[in-house]
Structure 1
């Protein structure tokens, strides 16, 4: 009898070990998003890039490309004059030989500061690329003038190479300035392959791989070249929601949330005693100015007072939503831009099914103003996003035991479920915290992300197990999105999620 019991024990141990091994394999197989950053080097690009470096462990970074825009270009060095194709910029600047060009060394300088905190960051998370690896990804793209895409450049050639490689994963090209360097890469592919036997295959491959996340149109190359010639290239177009993370944030962010963009927040969490990378972050009244950019006068105390800001207040990171969208915090927004997440919420264009847009018609209910708000799909995450940034900055200087790390959150059932009108949907999830912190649970209905307009009543919403009844006003085929949100009680408080999508059946 003892031998039989012993045999069962051995089998149980082996099965448990195999199960754990399968779980570990599945975790390791989760793919990071591939991404390329193109940037024109404005002050908000610099601050976006500083934050981006703290998150490089979350991506497969494939390129860091200097590009131009309607606001920044180098000129050709021969005195050639240029007038913007964008009417507002043409009126503002007129004819120029160059415009506020910040140079092509600032990314290298910041990666150097990243290198000083790299070993400490590695204590907190796997996957941070070495400073050398990041340096090797820096390329100079099309920078002579706004919208210049007549010639191949090191940057456009690099994007072309990535789009044509044998890795079939999508490549998210973040457009922090103009689209011209990305457009040149696509144009070069067209020039090389169009008319050849394999053109259809190459066209489809590139169209399937390339995803542009653009923050405004900062030159005319998307409209003039990419849209008519590469209509199947996917685009996420942020023209409005990003403003809560950009220059006019005070007008877009509810007063109750402005504390997370205040000078007090940045003094405590980012600028001081957080190492050289976080310390390089530009804020209002910090006494610093980007060379050759006289419009970056935010550091001047008199200018600060003129605009009613306080010292060390947030200036702008208008481009950061492009990589917020790629962060896997459990919201599943990478599956469909309409789901909404840290990078905003978008709807499919009526004229181009491969283009997703925001705008005045894409709104979430703002509980602070009690109105529908076109910025709130992005604004609603500010507290959690800023706390996350604060934690990453602390990783620069603190040991693992001293710092905070986000909880791991899961569901005990499928992420997609089906239910009929009147049926009770049982929700169950769990979480664990790597630091042993206490956890707070909440299940909430993300009304705007789903297609059902009715409100659900979630029972036991502050526990790990909750439920709701599919309401009578639901119709077959409609969807209900429920977010399982878990926050720890560490400092700063960190939050992660899971999303359940319920499809209403006949």
Structure 2
């Protein structure tokens, strides 16, 4: 059975914690990890980046230590930071950079201190003694910190460094302690890169440490993405002109942003899933986020279970929503590159629904057969731009499968007409607010209606 998790951040003003496992490589081998690294760093005020770990994957099948490429990105970040920090009107840095609030730009020194090597050997056969690394040791340390926030491990390459940390904890802790350890982590894996790439995709999944980690399904939330990364790769390639115009050569990070070789930013969905934009609770993969949609089931290996989207209904749903959200995602990136270049730019609207501020889903109750008023009139734009509103029902996320109609869905105040047969069900409504700045930016708030 899948683990059931609920949003557990007591103070939602804090950033989500993430770890990056990247098989970053020179541009002549594969530049897409560097592309994703640039996008991550211009969003560094949205994530508490706990670790940047260079490891193996399809771009590095073993033996290569490439933390120098991460440090090159951090050098560019340092040069752009005086501009980027103006977005939050940040004038100083915290002495203690743990427990970072949303909007806080970390120091380059902090990020450099979290940049380490992970496993340099691909595959499950290496997990065990003599395979510990600075990366696996850091992940154990992070799990043991007194911090209630989950740690999202965004797997851009192979997940073997996390697997080694789990193996070490398994050797040294009781079964209950291991459960506690596992429940600190969430995994978003871009395909399965702890097995060699082959054009025919004929490498067995059993040789991968991902296969082993999914055996902890009761305690380790594991998302196996085979949808969003492909669409990000392909859409970015097809629309490369936008990247050349709005991303490349915008600031020092833009100067570092390479042209694609195979596809564009295939690893970006791993952290877009955790983006604190009000759209979803990352712990609920069926809610739909900027990184797509997942359902619990058997994955491509035909053996293990996880939250997957490689085919059928979840793939089709994920494709539809990726295409829908792509323009907003790109504009968000482009606006931040403006800040990197100029120290000024557009900022996202702030969505307030029913007088409640915040980003986590808003839980409300309504009566079947009655009308329910949704009010976002207190929403505002920090730059004074006009706002456009769009209220819509996300049917895949709720338990009510009939049609729920919204009246005045393009106004700040809308009415949800509760179906008479919806009692005991939930309906998920998205409040989507877009400003008129350049580029236009979108923010969200999810309302989960429990129908009585």
The bucket for the TM-score relative to the shorter chain is 0.7 to 0.9
Q: State the match for 1:85 in structure 2.
A: none
CA contact (8 A) 1:346 1:362 kept: no
Alignment pair present for 1:34 and 2:39: no
Q: State the match for 2:346 in structure 1.
A: 404
Q: In structure 2, what is the Cα distance between the partners aligned to 1:383 and 1:224?
A: 34
CA contact (8 A) 1:347 1:358 kept: yes
Alignment pair present for 1:221 and 2:168: no
Q: In structure 2, what is the Cα distance between the partners aligned to 1:374 and 1:441?
A: 23
CA contact (8 A) 1:363 1:376 kept: no
Q: State the match for 1:358 in structure 2.
A: 309
Q: In structure 1, what is the Cα distance between the partners aligned to 2:304 and 2:348?
A: 36
Q: State the match for 1:421 in structure 2.
A: 368
Q: In structure 1, what is the Cα distance between the partners aligned to 2:19 and 2:109?
A: 17
Q: State the match for 2:92 in structure 1.
A: none
Q: State the match for 1:303 in structure 2.
A: none
Q: In structure 2, what is the Cα distance between the partners aligned to 1:179 and 1:153?
A: 13
Q: What is the DSSP-based 3-state SS (H/G/I as helix, E as strand, rest coil) of the residue aligned with 2:243?
A: helix
The one of 101, 108, 117 aligned to 1:131: 108
**Structure 2 CA distance for partners of 1:385 and 1:504, relative to 1, 3 Å:** same
TM-superposed CA distance for 1:157, in Å, is 1.0
Alignment of 1:5-154 (within 5 A): 30-41=13-24, 42-75=30-63, 101=64, 103-125=66-88, 126-147=103-124, 148-150=126-128, 151-154=131-134
TM-superposed CA distance for 1:359, in Å, is 3.1
CA contact (8 A) 2:407 2:417 kept: no
Q: In structure 1, what is the Cα distance between the partners aligned to 2:389 and 2:335?
A: 20
The one of 373, 384, 402 aligned to 1:436: 384
Alignment pair present for 1:279 and 2:255: yes
Q: In structure 1, what is the Cα distance between the partners aligned to 2:346 and 2:384?
A: 10
Normalising to structure 2: TM-score of the pair? 0.82
CA contact (8 A) 1:142 1:149 kept: no
Q: In structure 1, what is the Cα distance between the partners aligned to 2:258 and 2:417?
A: 49
CA-to-aligned-CA distance 1:448-470 (integer Å, 9 cap, x gap):
22222222221111111110212
TM-superposed CA distance for 1:263, in Å, is 3.2
CA-to-aligned-CA distance 1:281-309 (integer Å, 9 cap, x gap):
1225xxxxxxxxxxx5x6xxxxxxxxxxx
Aligned residues: 401
CA contact (8 A) 2:394 2:429 kept: yes
Q: State the match for 1:174 in structure 2.
A: 154
**Structure 2 CA distance for partners of 1:224 and 1:262, relative to 1, 3 Å:** closer
Structure index of larger Rg: 1
Q: Considering only aligned residues, what root-mean-square deviation do their CA atoms show, in Å?
A: 2.6
My pick for the range that moved more, 412-421 or 34-43, is 412-421
**Structure 2 CA distance for partners of 1:347 and 1:145, relative to 1, 3 Å:** closer
Q: In structure 1, what is the Cα distance between the partners aligned to 2:266 and 2:313?
A: 18
Structure 2 runs not aligned, ≥5 long: 1-8, 25-29, 89-102, 195-206, 357-361
Q: In structure 2, what is the Cα distance between the partners aligned to 1:358 and 1:377?
A: 13
Alignment pair present for 1:454 and 2:397: no
CA contact (8 A) 1:117 1:275 kept: yes
Alignment of 1:427-506 (within 5 A): 427-429=374-376, 430-472=378-420, 474-505=421-452
**Structure 2 CA distance for partners of 1:378 and 1:123, relative to 1, 3 Å:** same
Q: In structure 2, what is the Cα distance between the partners aligned to 1:30 and 1:266?
A: 31
Q: In structure 2, what is the Cα distance between the partners aligned to 1:231 and 1:478?
A: 26
CA contact (8 A) 1:68 1:146 kept: no
CA-to-aligned-CA distance 1:27-79 (integer Å, 9 cap, x gap):
9762211111001114221111110011111111111101112442233xxxx
Q: What is the DSSP-based 3-state SS (H/G/I as helix, E as strand, rest coil) of the residue aligned with 1:485?
A: strand
Which structure ranks higher in relative contact order (CA pairs < 8 Å, sequence separation ≥ 6)? 2
Structure 1 runs not aligned, ≥5 long: 1-25, 76-100, 194-198, 251-257, 285-295, 299-314, 365-371
CA contact (8 A) 2:55 2:161 kept: yes
CA contact (8 A) 2:116 2:135 kept: yes
**Structure 2 CA distance for partners of 1:50 and 1:422, relative to 1, 3 Å:** same
Q: State the match for 2:93 in structure 1.
A: none
TM-superposed CA distance for 1:502, in Å, is 1.4
Q: What is the DSSP-based 3-state SS (H/G/I as helix, E as strand, rest coil) of the residue aligned with 1:383?
A: helix
Q: State the match for 1:255 in structure 2.
A: none
Q: In structure 2, what is the Cα distance between the partners aligned to 1:378 and 1:350?
A: 22
The one of 180, 183, 206 aligned to 1:208: 183
Normalising to structure 1: TM-score of the pair? 0.74
CA contact (8 A) 1:233 1:354 kept: no
CA contact (8 A) 1:116 1:276 kept: yes
TM-superposed CA distance for 1:420, in Å, is 3.2
Q: In structure 1, what is the Cα distance between the partners aligned to 2:288 and 2:349?
A: 21
**Structure 2 CA distance for partners of 1:203 and 1:102, relative to 1, 3 Å:** closer
Alignment of 1:242-321 (within 5 A): 242-246=229-233, 248-249=234-235, 262-272=239-249, 274-284=250-260, 296=261, 315-321=263-269
